Amino acid sequence: MTTRQIHFIILFSGVTLLIMAVLAIGEMRPESWLMPAPAEQLYREGLDDQKGMGRIFVPAMTNPNNEPFYAVFSGEELIGETMVGSSFFVPPGKYTVVLGSGTRDQRIAKEVEVRREETVVIEPDWCALTIEVIDESRNFFKQDLQIFRVLNAESFGILPAISPELGEQMQTLILPAGLYKIVKRGRDFNTFVNFATVLLEAGVYTPFTLVINSQNGDFTGAGILTRATELRQIKYMRVYAAIHGNVVVNSDNRSSRQTRTNLSVLTQFENRLMFDRFPHYYLSNNLLDFGTQKLHESKFTIKPDLLQLKNTYIYYLLTWLGGYTRLDLITHFLPTTVLFSDPKNIWLTESDSRFIKRKVGITEFNTAPSFYPLEIKEGLGVNLTPLRTFNARVSVRTGFGFRQSYNKDVYQPTSIDSIYRRVLDIHQRGLESSLVSYFNTLFNLSITTELDILFPFGQKKEPVVDLVNFISLALTKNVTLEHTLRFKHDRTLYTYNIVEQLISMRLSYYFL
């Protein structure tokens, strides 16, 4: 055999091995996966070998944050657990890697032998499943599900409903290959109504879609909407838009020191824009409401409206730790008017009690013009997310806060009923702390709390406290019973605390 022939054989063999390697990597990363091939995941992790240690690596098929952790055992002893798509370093030896959804006995076990300064990549022969629950208009529908394996009628647990507007994402189930049955939470395996089945193949991610009738909650369709589901999975920008009609019973002391109860009919336009791609998270939550209101002992009038723009950006260093910045704006379009049941004389004064003018025999008075007061809040600091599940989320923020309140021709009542004092522009800065929490309980009851506290710089300056708490009970997809509590403590604006409560029946229509 000539030298030229030997070179040709070596070259041909090298090219063949390269092609086989590329094909092998391609086979390990089916087109259905949302994550790169295991080798690329390992490369992107970028961790060096640890001297004297071996490494175990379990690849992720979808978003690692949405898949169950994997655990490493030495015999019956739990060594530890970590996120899929991450390495686990251990001394050389034999180990059991346990991964997947369900109970300890239901999870997938892999026996591995780890050698010194070598990496063992677990071959992905399991299945990944996500279930997107929507209604006929492609809106997310809150419905808990239960998953059974048809082979032995074994339940693999509950798949809780999610709230995408709060940044929650679909949970990925990691299961052995086989045929599975999906039913409503609490329904028996043998039910022959409101169920769907799906066949899961080894090493394949299945994006399953379940369509529910928004009026009666029945299953109306199920299957794999490949293109539409892929777009929802891989696009990180989401937009929600809705119009709400509300009948509201309102109690507050904002325009008078006395608490008054009013009846309102409101229309609200709401839209949210969310970008969620680790490590970036951005939420823009905007609300415009207006309507008519029957004030205490008076006729229906146009209610002062509300324009609220809230923008928050978080850069996550870890899944539970990041830096945040935010910008909020609150204002209104129409003047704020106080109505008097009988003609009344009032006196207007400056903030330091100097007399401005007297109004004689009036039945109404504009305490604030259009667009004022204009409140702006900015903040930046550290964001902690100590609790982040599919039924609950708690975020704690602390950092520097800034507040501006522009009060052109804004007046507030004083302890003397006939005197109204001008409110000056206010600029504050200090340390801020915020708590944002969401809890979804049984029977479609959810509780959302936003607590915002500013500790202004300077001596003898009291903290500024804003609290908003929402309790929402979804009666149907489009009808919700809500209770709202708002509390404000700000001695630069009011000499007393503002407490407002609203009970409303909301009818909603979702555009997106």
pLDDT in tens, 442-469: 556 888 999 999 999 876 788 999 999 9
Q: What is the pLDDT of residue 121?
A: 94
Q: For residue 112, give both structure tokens.
A: 């591995």
Length of the chain: 512
Which CATH code for domain 237-342+363-407+432-510? Answer: 2.40.230.20
CB within 8 Å of 511: residues ≥ 6 apart:
241, 242, 243
- Does pLDDT of 34 surpass 90? no
- Looking at residue 429, its pLDDT comes to 92
**CATH, domain range 128-234:** 2.60.40
Same fold, 26-121 and 237-342+363-407+432-510: no
* Model pLDDT for residues 240-287, shown as the tens digit of each residue: 677 777 676 666 666 555 666 666 677 778 887 878 777 888 888 888
Return the CA Rg of the chain.
30
DSSP H or E segment with residue 80? strand 77-82
| pLDDT at position 77 | 92
**Bridge partners (DSSP) listed for residue 78:** 73
pLDDT of res. 460: 73
481 three-class SS? strand
How much of the chain, in percent, has pLDDT values that exceed 90?
34
**Mind listing the pLDDT tens digit for each residue in 83-140?**
999 999 999 999 999 999 988 889 999 999 999 989 999 989 999 999 989 887 777 7
pLDDT at 56: 95
CB 256 within 8 A of CB 286: no
CATH of domain 26-121: 2.60.40
Tokens 């089916």: give the residue: 30
Predicted local distance difference test score (pLDDT) of residue 19: 38
User: In this predicted structure, what is the pLDDT of residue 259?
Assistant: 61
Where in the chain are the domains? 26-121, 128-234, 237-342+363-407+432-510
**8 Å CB contact between 468 and 485:** yes
pLDDT tens across 393-441, in order? 788 999 999 999 999 999 988 878 889 999 899 899 999 999 989 887 6
- pLDDT at position 252 is 62
* pLDDT tens per residue across span 320-330: 888 999 999 99
Beta strands in 75-194 (DSSP E): 77-82, 87-90, 93-99, 108-114, 119-121, 127-134, 145-149, 154-159, 173-175, 178-184
Q: Which of 166, 231, 159 is nearest to 196 (CA)?
A: 159
Average pLDDT of the residues of the chain: 81
Highest mean pLDDT among 24-38, 184-198, 221-235, 243-257: 184-198
Give CA–CA dist 340/320, Å, rounded. Answer: 52
- Token pair of 98 as six digits: 């346990």
pTM given for the model: 0.55
Q: Is the pLDDT of residue 10 over 70?
A: no
